[in-house]
Amino acid sequence: MWTDSEGRDWSTSITVTTVKRVKQLADVLLTDAADDDLVDRLYADVILLCDVLYAVCQPQAETRDVTDGAFGELLAGDTIERACDSLMQDLLLFFQSGRKVAAAKKILAAKKVEEAKIRLIESRLTDEKIAEIITTETARAEQSLDEHLARHGNDCGKLPEFSE
């Protein structure tokens, strides 16, 4: 269960019918979560995640008159993380015991990889690095503008006369 940005609760409970619906609507086979790269793709691709979540929640969305596009508008920031966590927990509940262990390991590994990526970005993007990037990109833009003006001249032409 997760709560959208408007305070509505959504269930990500998964049954065989849900698996079929997700395959039909999002072209994703949820049972691949135990032995494929599906979990990694869901953590890395927010659009794919949103499509899968909509397919899982589609019957609820229909009763609430929430379209696919409107559903996507409900997913932003921490809501995405909560919805993803709910989906992963319900995926684990869906699997039989043997595959549940494999799926749990895949989910844990994918979540740790995403957390490591975020820590790496945070550690590399210091205030000094950001300032350096801004300075470099500003200089590149100035050079590009200077080259354009050199090729086409500084004169942009005359402005038309104003009418009274």
pTM confidence score: 0.69
pLDDT tens across 34-47, in order?
777 888 899 889 99
Query: Greater confidence, 75 or 102?
Result: 75
What average pLDDT does this structure show over 123-137?
79
Contact 93/17 with Cβ under 8 angstroms? no
Q: What does the domain layout of the chain look like in residue ranges?
A: 2-124
Which residues have a Cβ under 8 Å from the Cβ of 106 and sit 6 or more positions away?
33, 34, 35, 39, 40
Average pLDDT score over residue span 29-58: 91
Residue 158: CA atoms inside 13 Å, Cβ hemisphere, count? 3
Predicted confidence band of residue 147 (pLDDT cuts 50, 70, 90): confident
The DSSP result for 40-51, as a single string, is HHHHH-HHHHHH
